Amino acid sequence: MIRLYSMTSKLLNELNPDQQKAIIAIDGPVLILAGAGSGKTRVLTYKVAYLIFEKHIDPTNILMVTFTNKAAGEMKERIKKLVPGDMPLMGTFHSICAKILRSDGRHINIPINFTIYDEQDQLDVIKDIMKEADISTKDFKPHALLTTISEAKNELIGPLEYPQLARGHFQETVARVYLLYQKKLIESSALDFDDLLSKTVELFTKHPDILGKYQEQFQYILVDEYQDTNHAQYVLTTMLSKRHRNITVVGDASQSIYRFRGADFRN
Ligand SMILES: Nc1ncnc2c1ncn2[C@@H]1O[C@H](COP(=O)(O)OP(=O)(O)O)[C@@H](O)[C@H]1O
Ligand SMILES: [Mg+2]
């Protein structure tokens, strides 16, 4: 607690005792579960300020993951007010992965200038494939196929693995479409949103040296809205925090608590 008294009075006055406790715990994993509006996001922004101001951590050694780009923008504004100067890397899992793939994706054959497809681009590809493969949109909704492909990607199940797991007519159709879909994306030098995550996991798995570089860089990792992370995001968080293990995650106590059971950063 004593250290907190040397922080600016502005910082101190704006936190309750529980929040202060969460902020000064900087070594090792910290999991904070609390209700909506209880000040979790505030803890994360102030913790970043604490790390920089009080612990003299280089901002470039801090990674902060937000749930939306809007949240990242708001957080940047909040942190700019608290700490002038260099900013930590802040953004959604997707935007952070896009950055990582732009600089290192070439190691898994991703072109530097890859395009990111939005949902409409994705649906256009699915519809083209359905036409070419003679799959009727009356039998299968393009959107349903896309959603199922997206779920597979977030579970880190690739197009070669999916057919082995597919059961029934719908999933077997998804398996066919998934293969063709991924082929088309590669031909167009495009990644979809889910690829941003799964390809980063692939990059880190195939190139431990590159993972090591990011593990070394991100000595402090903070994740907001942790209850909403999918499997790929969980794997990324675990990979990145494995070396320093200074990770703070906050989540809504009332939502999907069961997800936290698998989230053990002490390993
Ligand atoms: N200790 C505090 N003193 C005053 N206002 C606070 C405090 N903690 C949080 N707030 C305010 O309460 C609101 C909700 O906080 P937030 O961090 O967004 O909550 P959560 O992320 O848990 O939903 C925000 O407007 C925030 O600025
Ligand atoms: Mg919040």
Q: Summarize pLDDT for 208-259 with one digit per residue, the tens.
A: 999 999 999 999 999 999 999 999 999 999 999 999 999 999 999 876 545 5
How many folded domains does the chain comprise?
1
Q: Is the pLDDT score of 4 beyond 50?
A: no
pLDDT at 77: 86
pLDDT at 267: 34
Using pLDDT thresholds of 50, 70 and 90, give the confidence band for residue 143: very high
Maximum Cα–Cα distance across the chain: 70
18 in contact with ligand 1, CB cutoff 6 A:
no
pLDDT at 93: 97
Does residue 155 sit within a domain? yes
Does residue 109 sit within a domain? no
pLDDT at 67: 83
pLDDT at 256: 55
14 in contact with ligand 1, CB cutoff 6 A:
yes
pLDDT digits (tens, 9 = 90+) for 85-140: 888 999 999 999 999 999 999 999 999 999 999 999 999 999 999 999 999 999 99
Does residue 180 sit within a domain? yes
Q: Ligand 1: which residue has its CA nearest to atom 27?
A: 42
Domain that holds residue 184: 115-196
pLDDT at 82: 74
Does residue 76 sit within a domain? no
Does residue 74 sit within a domain? no
The distance of Cα 20 from the centroid of its chain, to the nearest Å, equals: 26
Element (H, E) at 71: helix 69-82
Does residue 121 sit within a domain? yes
d(CA 196, CA 231): 13
CATH number of 169's domain: 1.10.10.160
Does residue 231 sit within a domain? no
Burial 6-35 (b: 16+ CB within 10 A, else e): ebeeebeeebeeebbebbbebeebbbbbbe
Distance 267 CA to ligand 2 centre (A): 27
